[in-house]
Amino acid sequence: MKPANRLAFIKEYYFSKKLQEIKEMQQQGVDVINLGIGSPDLPPPYDAVAQMQLAAKQEKAHQYQSYRGLDELREAFADFYQRKFQVEVNLHTEILPLMGSKEGVMQISMAFLNEGDEVLIPNPGYPTYTSVTKLVGAKPVFYELKEEQGWQPNFSDLEKQDLSKVKIMWLNYPHMPTGAKAGQHLFHDAIAFAKKHDILLVNDNPYSFILNDNPESLLAYPGSKDVGVELTSVSKTFNMAGWRVGAVLGNQENLQHILKVKSNMDSGMFLPIQLGASVALKENEDWFKNLDFLYKNRRIKITELAEKLGCQLEKRDLVGMFVWAKIPNRYKTSEEFSEHILHKHHLFAAPGTVFGSAGEGYIRFSLCVDEATIEKAIKRVES
Ligand SMILES: Cc1ncc(COP(=O)(O)O)c(C=O)c1O
C-alpha cells in the first residue's frame, strides 16, 4: 500500500533504526556499550511502584479513565510546580496530564497549526519538533543555537526575519542536547517576542531536575500564561520513562484546544500509572540529592571517557542527562566519529547531527549507564 504523502517528508526516528543495528551487533556477540540513549536506568521511587501495584488490584483500575487525568495526578503536578518552581496553576483548568511529553508535541501541533503555518525550532534540538511539524503540514523554520552564544536564541536576529506566518516557537530549556540552561533573560525576552508577533511559546521542560541547582519554568515569568504553555514529564525526574506520564500546563483556553485533540486520540491513562506517578511527584529533597549524586559521579567518568576519545568539552556545567562534546578535529563529521567509536571500541554515542545541522562537529554521551560500565568503556579506549 502506498503510504500517505506526509510520510515522504520524514524519516524513521534515528534511534529506532540505530538501536536495531546495535541489537543485531549484540546478537552477533559484540558487546556494544550504549551511551546513546537518555532512558534512565535507575529505579523509580519505591513507593510509586508499590502504589501502582496496589492500585492494579482495584476493581475499577482496568476501565477507561478520564481524558483530563485523575484529580490526584493533577493535584500532584500542581503541588510539584508550586514547590519546585513557585508557580501557581489551577489544578482543574491549567494542567492536562499526557502520556509523556513526546505526545504533547503532536497534540499541541495538531491543536494550533494549520497547513503552511511556520514553526520556530531550535537547531540543534529534539528531532520530534521537526518531524511532527512536517507531519501536520506546517513548515519548520530553524533558529540556530551557537556555542559562543551559550546556545541561546538570538531574538534580534529573529526579528530581522519575516515572522508573519510563525505560529509556534519551540523552546527547550534546560536544552537537549547541549545541556544549556535558560540564561537570565531568555524566558523574559521570549515572552516579549511571542507577544509582539502573536506566537505560541512552548517550553519543553523534561530536564530541569537533573544536575541543575536552579530549576526554572517558563510559567514562573509574568505574562507567560498569556502566550505560552509548558510541557513537563516524570520520565527523567523520577526514572519513569517507560510509564509515559507527563503534562502540559498553561491557560484554560489553550489547554481546552489541546484536550479537544487528546480526547479524540486516547481514552485516558491506566489508573495505577496515574496513582503511582502522583506518589512520585511528592518525593522530598532526598530523592533529588541522591539522583544528583549518582549523575555527578557518572558525569565525571563520562567526561574522562570523552577526553580519552579526544573530544573537547566546554568549561561549564551541563544540565540534564547528557555530555555534549566537540569531536576531535581529524574527523570530518559527527557521524564518521560516531561510527568510528562504534566499530573500533564498540561504544555508541549519538552524533550531533541527529539533532540538526548545527550539531555537526559534536557528539552526545548519555549518563544513563552505571559507573562500572563507563569504567569498562574507558578501559576499552585505553587498551
Ligand atoms: C527534549 C525532549 N523532550 C521530550 C522528550 C520526551 O520525553 P517523554 O518521555 O516525557 O515523552 C525527550 C526525551 O528524550 C526530550 O529529550
CATH code where residue 356 lies? 3.90.1150.10
- CA-CA distance, 274 to 75, in Å (whole number)? 11
Residues in contact with ligand 1 by the CB-under-6-Å rule are 38, 100-102, 126, 172, 176, 204, 206, 233, 235, 241, 246
Report CA(214)–ligand 1 centroid distance (Å).
20
Q: Say whether both 134 and 228 belong to one domain.
A: yes
Q: Which of 280, 295, 317 is the last residue of a domain?
A: 280
Tens-place pLDDT, residues 19-63: 899 999 999 999 999 999 999 999 999 999 999 999 999 999 999
Asked, for residue 359, whether it belongs to a domain, the answer is: yes
pLDDT of residue 315: 84
Q: Band the pLDDT of 100: cuts 50, 70, 90.
A: very high
- CA-CA distance, 25 to 88, in Å (whole number)? 49
Report CA(102)–ligand 1 centroid distance (Å).
6
Report CA(18)–ligand 1 centroid distance (Å).
18
Per the structure block, which three cell numbers stand in for 44? 523509580
Which ranges of 69-206 does DSSP label H, i.e. alpha helix?
A: 71-85, 101-112, 127-135, 155-159, 186-197
Tens-place pLDDT, residues 54-82: 999 999 999 999 999 999 999 999 999 99
- Ligand 1 atom 14, closest CA: 38
Asked, for residue 53, whether it belongs to a domain, the answer is: no
Looking up cell 521542560 gives 205
Ligand 1 atom with the shortest distance to the CA of 103: 11
- CA-CA distance, 270 to 242, in Å (whole number)? 13
Q: Say whether both 243 and 156 belong to one domain.
A: yes
Asked, for residue 321, whether it belongs to a domain, the answer is: yes
CATH for 104: 3.40.640.10
Query: Which residue range(s) make up the domain with 192?
Result: 60-280
Report CA(206)–ligand 1 centroid distance (Å).
6
Ligand 1 atom with the shortest distance to the CA of 234: 10
CB 120 within 8 A of CB 158: yes
Report CA(172)–ligand 1 centroid distance (Å).
10
SS3 for 317? coil
Peptide bond into 272 cis (omega under 30): no
Asked, for residue 48, whether it belongs to a domain, the answer is: no
pLDDT of residue 152: 96
Mutate to test the pocket of ligand 1, among 98, 173, 204 (most ligand atoms within 8 A of CB): 204
Asked, for residue 350, whether it belongs to a domain, the answer is: yes
- CA-CA distance, 201 to 169, in Å (whole number)? 5
Sign of the CA dihedral 108, 113, 115, 116? negative
- CA-CA distance, 97 to 231, in Å (whole number)? 10
- CA-CA distance, 106 to 231, in Å (whole number)? 12
Q: Say whether both 98 and 236 belong to one domain.
A: yes
DSSP 8-state code for residue 71: H
- Ligand 1 atom 2, closest CA: 126
Q: Say whether both 252 and 107 belong to one domain.
A: yes
Q: Say whether both 268 and 331 belong to one domain.
A: no
Asked, for residue 341, whether it belongs to a domain, the answer is: yes
Strand 95-98 to 118-123 pairing? unpaired
Q: Say whether both 264 and 365 belong to one domain.
A: no
Q: Is 164 exposed, middle or buried (0-12, 13-18, 19+ CB in 10 A)?
A: exposed
Number of folded domains in the chain?
A: 2
Tens-place pLDDT, residues 301-330: 999 999 999 999 988 878 999 999 999 999
Asked, for residue 13, whether it belongs to a domain, the answer is: yes
CB 95 within 8 A of CB 258: no
Name, in order, each residue with C-beta under 8 angstroms of 202's C-beta and a sequence gap of 6 or more: 108, 168, 169, 170, 171, 228, 229, 230, 231
pLDDT of residue 13: 75
Provide φ and ψ at 99, rounded to 5°. -85, 75
Q: The whole model's pTM is what?
A: 0.96
